[in-house]
Structure formats: C-alpha cells, structure tokens
Structure 1
Amino acid sequence: MTSTCATGEHDKHDVFAELCPCRGLLDLIANKWTTLAVGALENGPLRFGALQRHMEGISPKVLTQTLRRMEDAGLLTRTVYPAVPLHVEYELTPLGASLILPLRGLRDWAETHLHDLTI
C-alpha cells in the first residue's frame, strides 16, 4: 500500500480515495471492539481479564488481536510487571485518550437511537 493519497501528497489525505492510508486507521478506530476497549480504558489501566469482563462477549483471541492492533497503532501501551503470575496492564496513550470523547459520542448515539433504526 502506498503512503500517498489521490493527490500524490503525503500531507493531504482523503479517506474517500482508494489508496488513502487513512482507511486502515478508520477501520481500526471504527471497529466495535476498539470502540469498546477505548471506553473500558478511559478511567485508567486495566489487566486483560478485567478488560474481557468489561467487554462482554469478546473472546480472548479477538481481545488479544484488538489490543495488539491498538498497541501497534500507538493507541495504548502494554506494561508487563515481573511477578508470578505475570501481571500485564493496558493503558491508553495520549493519542488513544484523544479518542475517548468522539467514541463515547458514537456509543451514546448507538444506545440512544437503537430503537429508531430498523436493524
């Protein structure tokens, strides 16, 4: 995948352009599990098990994949504490925290308008 958009410029992006690298980012942040993970982590770091309990219905495999994608994108940090058993915490980075309000708005809209839709 190229890092330029239809304009050919690196600093001008258009998510509607087929080759825009922003589409991958949009795919990550618009994912329901990412949206829920940001909401779960908005009050501070959590361990894997606490995240899984908070995000009902997510499998350990999908949670692991979601957290890895978010970490790779710079949205959260994974801190390993040397203990027996191993203690791992996940926390939003400042960039990840910048998603709290927009994604909270999306979650609130979904809860408010669910009954208005025909899905």
Structure 2
Amino acid sequence: MIKTKENSFDDIYEVVRLIPHGRVTSYGAIAHYLGTGGARMVGWAMNACHTMPDVPAHRVVNRKGVLTGKNHFGGNRMQELLEGEGLKVENDQIIDFQKHYWNPSEELL
C-alpha cells in the first residue's frame, strides 16, 4: 500500500514498528514505501523517537547498511541492540546487509 499524502512521523513510526526482529531496512526504503521519496524526513523521525521504546529505530540504517544514526543512540548502543538481535557489525556497517535487509514495499503488500 503506497500512501500519496504528506506523511507524518507517525506514519514512519508505524512502518518501523513492523520491521522484524533481526532485520533492518533503510531510510530510503521507508520513504519509498510511504511515497515520499524523502529519506531525510525518515532520518529526522528516527532522530526524534529515541524516547519511544516501541519504535525500534536501531533497525533503520542507510542504503549501504551503515549505522549513520548511531550518534543519536549514544556510544555503541545502536550496534549493541543490533548485535543483540543476531546481526554482526564491523566498522559501523552491518555484515551481510542484504541477508538482513527488509523491504517494506515487498513485505507489506
């Protein structure tokens, strides 16, 4: 389901809550699914949700699997959360990124 209206942070959070444990997606994939094309807006939403325990923002990375949002978690918290879900991270990048990649446009038909 592609939405065409301007999406709020709540729309983004709704998608992020659906990312399965042990999987990750990208800012751009969420933006594409919502029909915005604005990966930066998704990034702003992720930066604003760190006090919301029901939004797994640590599962959203850049299109190459790099933990670009890690500074907003403090220390290595983003990496620790991902590793706690079974992913391996080296030099702030997810190992075997495509194996763990979750595409909302394919998964949420």
**Interval containing the TM-score (normalised by the shorter chain):** 0.3 to 0.5
**Greater relative contact order (CA < 8 Å, ≥ 6 in sequence):** 2
Q: TM-score, normalised by structure 1?
A: 0.32
Point out the structure with the larger helix share: 1
